């Protein structure tokens, strides 16, 4: 497989996107953790400010219908990195480890001359059968790694130690700042060659923690269950901290005169959580508004996430797009920007949306799929255009027009029976393609 990375990569050039004098862009993917669609200013948040993200949005394109691939951390990240649905990349639950044979975007970019780094959250699962250890990001194409390898520590915003390469080292400070410091260092050291930075922040994932001086700015602004533990103020402080740190990285690009040659993607791994550890903050702030649902379900609140792409001169600035983007599309799209193309042997599910991102063509019509069949859940979804099928357990499938009814309050199955039947058939056919590694411990398809 590793030899295939070198000899199986097929180069492609989009004549309208590049001239002979253009170089492949630097690429930065910034991933938030449990950030809701409605938590950012460019999607309407007014209770706190996200000026740096809003500036990024003004300088690029906002995608209103950007969908994650899964509703918990490990599967969503695996799908982003491999360009494959959860049922094909072998990571369908939080305790699944990415199979070593899967090819990541970092591995695909390295033969094209990219320096690669993962800074932030990796989220490994249990070692695979017949393996003695989990997969490390430096086993999957990343030259450098700094951050968290497992979920048990990736909610600590004041960590005592972090992985630096293959060793843990003591650290001190707020995680968002520590991660951004390392990201700035990586970008600065590699300013003279193409680089790929996957910056996986852990904000606003558990715990609800922020520096005291940032929390102080929001104290008494919101009602609190326990004023001595102001979760709602702290949540607001976390988002503004995230925005500030992203702003520092973007300023570094400006200072190094790299902004015009860098493609930046910002999104979240899934919708905001209503778990107990969140202390009710996401619920209070209605983080997934205007959508129904949250992390761990397949309504829009669980799978529709913030999405912004900036590449000055290539991707339109100040544009708001209603084209549908699925997280599995990021891999082939970034690879196309780097003048590459996935090897067919990798079986990437996503499609190259670079012409769509550049405003040259619409996204292709297709049916998209989701599943969440772990931790006692049994949820399935399929969507084509505006119409989305949602099935919870053995209940009758519902059909929602997520454009006319983004809160998914009224099923329109009676108005579109043929669409419902077609999506049911396509969903069952998709489930039939599940790999053996993804089937372990999952409910059988209906």
Question: Quick one: average pLDDT of 115-125?
Answer: 93
| pLDDT given for residue 13 in this prediction | 35
Supply the mean pLDDT for the chain: 92
Q: For the segment 79-99, what is each residue's pLDDT rounded down to a tens digit?
A: 999 999 999 999 999 999 999
Q: For the segment 274-309, what is each residue's pLDDT rounded down to a tens digit?
A: 999 999 999 999 999 999 999 999 999 999 999 999
Element (H, E) at 383: strand 379-384
pLDDT over 70 at 21, yes or no: no
Please name the residues in contact with 152: beta carbons below 8 A apart, sequence gap of 6 or more. Answer: none
| Residue 283, phi then psi, degrees to nearest 5 | -65, -45
Could you tell me if 270 and 303 are in contact, meaning their C-beta atoms sit under 8 angstroms apart? yes
Question: Quick one: average pLDDT of 216-231?
Answer: 96
Confidence of residue 3 (pLDDT cuts 50, 70, 90): very low
pLDDT over 90 at 322, yes or no: yes
Could you tell me if 190 and 258 are in contact, meaning their C-beta atoms sit under 8 angstroms apart? no
| pLDDT given for residue 134 in this prediction | 83
pLDDT over 70 at 10, yes or no: no
Question: Quick one: average pLDDT of 216-225?
Answer: 96
| pLDDT given for residue 270 in this prediction | 97
Question: Quick one: average pLDDT of 259-279?
Answer: 96
Confidence of residue 437 (pLDDT cuts 50, 70, 90): low
pLDDT over 80 at 316, yes or no: yes
Please name the residues in contact with 180: beta carbons below 8 A apart, sequence gap of 6 or more. Answer: 199, 245, 246, 248, 249
Question: Quick one: average pLDDT of 237-261?
Answer: 98
**Minimal CA–CA distance to 160: which of 149, 152, 171?**
171
| pLDDT given for residue 7 in this prediction | 33
Q: For the CA atoms of 233, 236, 242, 247, what is the dihedral angle to 10 degrees?
A: -110
Environment class of 158 (CB within 10 Å of its CB; exposed 0-12, middle 13-18, buried 19+): middle
Could you tell me if 70 and 271 are in contact, meaning their C-beta atoms sit under 8 angstroms apart? no
| pLDDT given for residue 443 in this prediction | 52
Confidence of residue 440 (pLDDT cuts 50, 70, 90): low
Question: Quick one: average pLDDT of 351-366?
Answer: 98
pLDDT over 90 at 33, yes or no: yes
pLDDT over 60 at 442, yes or no: no
Could you tell me if 348 and 331 are in contact, meaning their C-beta atoms sit under 8 angstroms apart? yes
DSSP label at residue 388: E
| pLDDT given for residue 404 in this prediction | 98
Could you tell me if 142 and 169 are in contact, meaning their C-beta atoms sit under 8 angstroms apart? no
Q: What is the DSSP string of 104-136?
A: PHHHHHGGGT-EEEEEEE----BPPTT-SSPPP
- Say which range, 116-125, 131-140, 174-183, 217-226, has the weakest mean pLDDT: 131-140
pLDDT over 80 at 17, yes or no: no
Domains of the chain in start order, with CATH, are 2-12+24-364 (3.40.720.10), 369-439 (3.30.1120.10)
Question: Quick one: average pLDDT of 311-325?
Answer: 98
Confidence of residue 152 (pLDDT cuts 50, 70, 90): confident
* 324: helix, strand or coil: strand
What is the distance between the terminal CA atoms of the chain, rounded to a whole angstrom? 34
The percentage of the chain sitting over the pLDDT mark of 90, rounded to a whole number, equals 87
């Amino acid at each position: 497989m590793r030899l295939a990375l070198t000899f199986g990569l097929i180069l492609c050039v989009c004549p309208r996107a590049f001239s002979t004098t253009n170089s492949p862009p630097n690429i930065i993917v910034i991933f938030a953790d449990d950030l809701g669609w409605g938590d950012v200013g460019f999607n309407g948040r007014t209770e706190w400010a996200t000026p740096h993200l809003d500036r990024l949005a003004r300088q690029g394109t906002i995608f209103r219908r950007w969908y994650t691939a899964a509703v918990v951390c490990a599967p969503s990240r695996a799908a982003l990195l491999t360009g494959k649905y959860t049922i094909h990349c072998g990571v369908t639950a939080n305790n699944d480890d990415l199979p070593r044979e899967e090819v990541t975007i970092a591995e695909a970019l390295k033969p094209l001359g990219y320096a690669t780094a993962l800074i932030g959250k990796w989220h490994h699962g249990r070692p695979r059968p017949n393996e003695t250890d989990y997969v490390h990001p430096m086993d999957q194409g990343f030259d450098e790694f700094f951050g968290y390898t497992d979920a048990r520590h990736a909610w600590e915003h004041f960590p005592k130690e972090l992985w630096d390469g293959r060793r843990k080292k003591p650290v001190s400070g707020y995680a968002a700042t520590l991660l951004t410091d390392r990201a700035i260092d990586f970008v600065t050291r590699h300013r003279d060659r193409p680089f790929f930075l996957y910056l996986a922040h852990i904000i606003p994932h558990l715990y609800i923690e922020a520096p005291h001086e940032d929390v102080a700015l929001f104290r008494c602004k919101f009602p609190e269950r326990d004023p001595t533990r102001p979760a709602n103020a702290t949540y607001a402080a976390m988002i503004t901290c995230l925005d500030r740190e992203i702003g520092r990285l973007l300023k570094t690009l400006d200072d190094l005169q790299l902004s015009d040659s860098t493609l930046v993607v910002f999104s979240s791994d899934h919708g905001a959580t209503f778990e107990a550890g969140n202390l009710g903050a996401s619920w209070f702030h209605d983080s997934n508004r205007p959508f129904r649902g949250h992390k761990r379900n397949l309504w829009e609140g669980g799978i529709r996430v913030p999405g912004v792409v900036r590449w000055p001169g290539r991707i339109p600035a100040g544009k708001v797009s209603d084209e549908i983007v699925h997280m599995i599309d990021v891999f082939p799209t970034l690879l196309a920007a780097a003048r590459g193309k996935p090897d067919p042997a990798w079986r990437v599910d996503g499609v190259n949306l670079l012409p769509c991102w550049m405003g040259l063509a619409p996204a292709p019509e297709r049916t998209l799929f989701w599943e969440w069949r772990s931790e006692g859940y049994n949820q399935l979804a399929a969507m084509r255009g505006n119409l989305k099928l949602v099935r919870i357990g053995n209940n009758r499938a519902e059909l929602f027009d997520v454009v006319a009814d983004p809160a998914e309050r009224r099923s329109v199955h009676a108005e579109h029976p043929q669409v419902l039947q077609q999506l049911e058939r396509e969903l069952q056919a998709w489930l039939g393609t599940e790999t053996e590694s993804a089937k372990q411990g999952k409910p059988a398809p209906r």
